[in-house]
Amino acid sequence: MVLEACVILIDNSSHSRNGDFTPNRFLSQIDSINFIAGTKIQQNRVNTVGILSMSGRRPNLVLAPTNDVGQVLIATNKIQIEGKMDLISSIEIAQLSLKHRSNKEHAQRIVMFVASPLEEKKEDLEKIGSQLRKASISLDIVSFGETERNEEKLSSLIDNANSGDNCHLLSVPTSSGIILADQIQGSGIFSSSSGGMGGDFGSFGGGGYGGGGMVDPNVDPELAMVLQMSLEEERQRQSRLSKENSGESKNKNNETEINQQKREEEGEKAMELEETEKGIQNINKNENNEQGDETDMFSQLEGLTEEEQMEYIMKMSLQEMDSKELEQLGIENEEEDDEKEKNPEVQNALQDEDLVDSILLSLPGVDPENEQITETIKNIKEENNEEKENDEKKEK
């Protein structure tokens, strides 16, 4: 989560009319820029991204550094293909733009796309590389289309600008059917500040969302909620399993006793929680053997594509959860009304009218005044109250 101000340099010279990258070099750069800007701003809301077009009469700062992704999309559409690329001046103008950034605490970065054969001398490039290093500006270069011709010059530029491995050179060779944005995403140099792909549990948030973060809750709130809950359940199970395996069966019994006490003191909330814990413990007893599988799971996850990861996680969580809990998550199985073990957090959240209203408002195409919706909410609340009464009766 680095605080960063970034200027992206786009090669809009005539060389990028070439169609060797689908649909052509220029448009694939636009796609990549949208992806990069989205990733950076998602990593940190305060990060700024600016865009500079390198070719034409002179390099032109198309977009001053901003943290609004919408502006990035608008700006990229305004750029025309013209002329020849001027690398040195473009870098200097980008440097100036970064120097006058509004928040001095931002780290400075330049991302440059190169799709034309370079005419600048190697010494000049080395000089500008040292200049960037002196001003503590890190440089990432995406070289594609003319990779062999530019390889030597660009690597010397990166070497001179590099201080502590903050600069990267990504060379994408031309081959059929390559999508530039995919290659960039796969390389992971923009996914996190350390330059590595976030291979952890949360990174399978789907293509287009960026490697390091979870699913955007505004885009798909249900999916985000589902993923979060399955993550939490997973963590709870993991901690429980580790406790069990250290031979603490006595403690387990104590836990249930303590929970009983809590229930009396705290009432419904604790009661529901204890029931879910009991349920989880029962499942764990039966499936103790799977512990070995689960520690491998994380390493396995990294090897799968995002879709496969999704399926795998769903499968795992489906195995562990009751079908009743599934209904609460809104996945499948609309049957079995008795003894629902609902997620207590969701229950309580639904009770809160304001929260429900705000969630409904954020969903597109939903009119909160709608009769059907208000009725449905009432029904859910009634169900909850019935549940709690039933549980209380069972206790007695």
Side by side, the strands of the sheet bearing 48-53 are: 60-66, 48-53, 4-10, 107-114, 137-144, 168-172
80 binds other proteins (CB under 8 A): no
Number of residues in contact with other proteins, rule: CB under 8 A?
13
Q: What is the residue-wise DSSP string for 337-362? A: -TT----HHHHHHHH-HHHHHHHHHH
- Smallest distance, other proteins to C-beta of residue 167, A: 11
From 166, 191, 192, 317, residue interacting with other proteins (rule: CB under 8 A): 166
164 binds other proteins (CB under 8 A): yes
What lies within 8 Å, CB to CB, of 331 at 6+ separation is 226, 314, 318
Nearest CB to other proteins, comparing residues 57 and 100: 100
133 binds other proteins (CB under 8 A): yes
From 2, 46, 135, 258, residue interacting with other proteins (rule: CB under 8 A): 135
From 80, 102, 136, 245, residue interacting with other proteins (rule: CB under 8 A): 136
Nearest CB to other proteins, comparing residues 100 and 396: 100
57 binds other proteins (CB under 8 A): no
* Of 294, 280, 284, residue with least CA distance to 244: 284
What percentage of the chain's residues is helix, strand, coil (to nearest 5)? 60, 10, 30
Q: What does the per-residue mask of binding to other proteins show for 83-102, with x meaning CB under 8 A?
A: ----------------xx--
Nearest CB to other proteins, comparing residues 25 and 109: 109
CA distance 262 to 107: 50
Q: Cis ω on the peptide bond leading into residue 65 (within 30° of 0)? A: no
From 130, 288, 362, 379, residue interacting with other proteins (rule: CB under 8 A): 130
48 binds other proteins (CB under 8 A): no
Nearest CB to other proteins, comparing residues 158 and 172: 158
Please state, in angstroms and as integers, the Cα–Cα distance from residue 176 to each residue in 19, 25, 28, 44, following that order. Answer: 10, 13, 14, 35
Q: Which residues make up the interface to other proteins (CB under 8 A)?
A: 99-100, 104-105, 130-131, 133-136, 163-164, 166
